[in-house]
Amino acid sequence: MDHSKLKFQCIMCFSINEITKAEMGHQHTCTNCGKVVQLPNSSFSSGRVIADDFVIKKKLGSGAMGSVFLAHQLSMDRDVALKVLFYQFTKDENYADEFNEEAKAAARINHINVVQSLAFGSDQDLLYMAMNYVDGITFDKLIKRHGKMNVDDALNIVQQVAEGLHAAWTEMHLIHRDVKPANIIITDDGIAKISDFGLARQAHKVNVQTISGSPAYMSPEQFAQKPLDCRSDIYSLGITLFEALTGRLPFSGTNASAVAYKHLNEPIPVNKIKPALNRHVRGLIKRMTAKNPDDRFQTPENLLNRIVEIRKKMAVDKAAVANVHTMSIKRQSFTNPKRERSLKTLAEYNRESQQTKQATNEHRRLYAIAGSLCVVFVLLVMFYSLSGTNHQKNSTKVIDKKLTVLQNKVDKKLTDLQNKVDKLTKQNSVLYNHLKEIKELLEHKPKKNSAKQLSENKKKSEDKKLVKTKKD
Ligand SMILES: Nc1ncnc2c1ncn2[C@@H]1O[C@H](COP(=O)(O)OP(=O)(O)OP(=O)(O)O)[C@@H](O)[C@H]1O
Ligand SMILES: [Mg+2]
């Protein structure tokens, strides 16, 4: 029996109840309203309360470090994204201490292109981090859904992420360490936000770090366990840009060491892309993903300058390209009609995903209608079958009556027939007897005599007469 405690919100009165793990999946009487409620089977189901403040609504997804839930923060009456780390991280005390420090630092980054950390802490044996809930689509899902992206749209997103990295680096000396499309969320109005900053480590605190992050996007120095700085994030962002423009990863392999080998030794296959990428964009990716950090852009700001330069050269609507550090401000003022038009390209992706969401909702609605119709149909069938039973009962009675009449008629006919048969049998037996008699008669009748016999008979009878006369 597991007697460790959990807290759940009563679905009837919303008060918080403490239960034991052993009670999960069973019925529980609310300590406040006294109503009996069914407890879910899983510890992280809707209604679970964490740190007396976060009520889980639903699971949003999970990654390498933990699961993310949409939760309601009771104290602030707002929805948040709550990342609950896996037990393997929480049981490691060093990690828990480090996590607290990192999360504190990350919570101080307040930038439009960074998902804001709101709270962090522990509840019994779990560690959590609450972040702003971003209603949007992750960049990896966007790439999977649409394949290769238009160059300016991809650069627009990378530029925004670089703004977020710049803020973290200049304000807090923080690096992300896990920049990848799955950690970039794009809102419906086209704002890209980098998430999971709380899980990064302050660069000056760590010299030799244990390998973490996603191998497909990790820098050579991350694999080599060398000290990291903002240039490592620039490398990972370069891989992200490559993936957005080609729809595939530059280096892949059956295991992490095969991927690591390629990141450490093989040149990025940017020249092999067909149709060929613009030379400025090729050059940008090459520089972002140079094996040696010294050959890369040295800061996010350097990178930003180059991105803006390229976009201003290449973009169809050059005026729509936001300058370095001004993107978020310009983004909110849609006064320039040309800019509005350019934003539409990215907005289209979002609109499509919005439409997909709407279509999904539409489908759900249709399914609900179809479901209701089915229920109505089933109810109607049940109703008619029930009323039909009465109807059937009545018709059965009529049929029974008719059958009885018919049966009587048949019986009568049968009796008549039987009588006739009896009569015939009788007649037949009379006839038979007659025939028998005739036969017998015929058998006893003297046969046609020959003349000799006749004379013999005559003689006999004459002899008889003579004898008689003598007697007399
Ligand atoms: N702040 C957020 N707002 C809304 N949804 C979020 C937020 N953070 C994460 N998510 C959702 O939760 C999912 C899981 O996120 P998570 O960070 O655990 O996984 P990941 O990014 O794929 O892997 P990793 O553990 O390497 O970061 C994401 O794909 C996203 O859909
Ligand atoms: Mg993540």
The one-letter amino acid code at 190 reads: G
What pTM was estimated for this model as a whole?
A: 0.70
Pocket probe for ligand 1: among 68, 179, 183, the residue whose CB has the most ligand atoms within 8 Å is 68
**Which residues are marked as active site?**
178
Lowest mean pLDDT among 10-14, 48-52, 182-186, 360-364: 360-364
Per-residue pLDDT reduced to its tens digit, 130-155:
999 999 999 999 999 989 999 999 99
Each domain of the chain, given as residue ranges in start order, spans 5-132, 136-343
Closest ligand relative to 68 C-alpha: 1
Q: How, if at all, do strands 184-187 and 136-138 pair?
A: antiparallel
Q: Which fold has domain 5-132?
A: Phosphorylase Kinase; domain 1 (3.30.200)
Mean local confidence (pLDDT), 255-272: 93
Per-residue pLDDT reduced to its tens digit, 319-336:
889 999 975 443 433 334
Whose C-alpha lies nearest to ligand 1, atom 9? 68
Sign of CA dihedral 246, 199, 188, 342: negative
Query: What residues are in contact with ligand 1 under a 6 Å CB criterion?
Result: 60-66, 68, 81, 115, 131-134, 138, 178, 182-183, 185, 195-196, 214
Residue 366's pLDDT band (cuts 50, 70, 90): low
CA of 182 to the centre of ligand 2 (A): 6
CA of 194 to the centre of ligand 2 (A): 9
- For the chain, report the end-to-end CA distance as a whole number of angstroms: 142
Mean local confidence (pLDDT), 110-139: 93
Closest ligand relative to 138 C-alpha: 1
List, as ranges, residues with CB under 5 A of the ion ligand 2: 63, 183, 196
Q: State residue 25 phi and psi, 5-degree precision.
A: 85, -5
- Residue 131 CA, closest ligand 1 atom number: 1
The answer to whether the bond into 275 is cis (omega within 30° of 0) is yes
The answer to whether domain 5-132 and domain 136-343 are alike in fold is no
- Residue 213 CA, closest ligand 1 atom number: 26
Per-residue pLDDT reduced to its tens digit, 389-422:
555 556 566 667 777 777 788 778 877 878 887 7
In the CATH scheme, what is the homologous superfamily, with its name and number, of domain 136-343?
Answer: Transferase(Phosphotransferase) domain 1 (1.10.510.10)
